[in-house]
Amino acid sequence: MHGPAEMTHRSAQIKHKEINMNSRETLKQKIDRLRSLVTANRGFTLIEIMIVVTIMALLTAVVVVPNVTKYLKKAKVDAAKMQIRNFQLPLNEYMSAHGNYPATDEGLEGLVKDGYLKKVPLDPWGNPYQYRFPGEVEEDEYEIYSFGADGKEGGEGFNTDIKSWEDK
């Protein structure tokens, strides 16, 4: 059978295999642990996403909304100036047919009555345009104006009155 030397050699081989198996097991455990760490951090949690979305919404509210509001106010002022200019053609047609512009008491409704306009539009803030003829600045010219965003005579900034005689 086997002698003592052979037994010592054989037990050394068995021990070597056990050490190899233990180191393999340790390596496998390390790989599994690394894999679990990597897969655990693959995505964001719902809370993290909600926090980021909330921060973005707050930044939008602070930065974008005031700028958009400013542009909307300016757009209304520009729309009022354009509408005042658009009254020029029907008023000139009325002048050609009648020899003068509608009187102040007749107002822009005189253009509707005679068919030059379907209806008199309101200014962008929902107020009626003001009209007078003869004008206070030039007696032989009509004057159309809007009281602006505040709907009151005078004002500054977006509340400034928009006047036909200042836009020429």
CATH 3.40.50.1820 applies to domain 58-166: no
pLDDT tens digit sequence for 2-29: 555 555 666 666 665 555 555 666 777 8
- Confidence (pTM): 0.63
Cβ-in-10-Å burial (0-12, 13-18, 19+) of 31 comes to exposed
pLDDT, tens digit, 9 for 90 and up, residues 74-108: 999 999 999 999 999 999 999 999 999 999 999 99
What is the average pLDDT across 151-155? 91
pLDDT, tens digit, for every residue of 47-83?
999 999 999 999 988 888 888 888 999 999 999 999 9
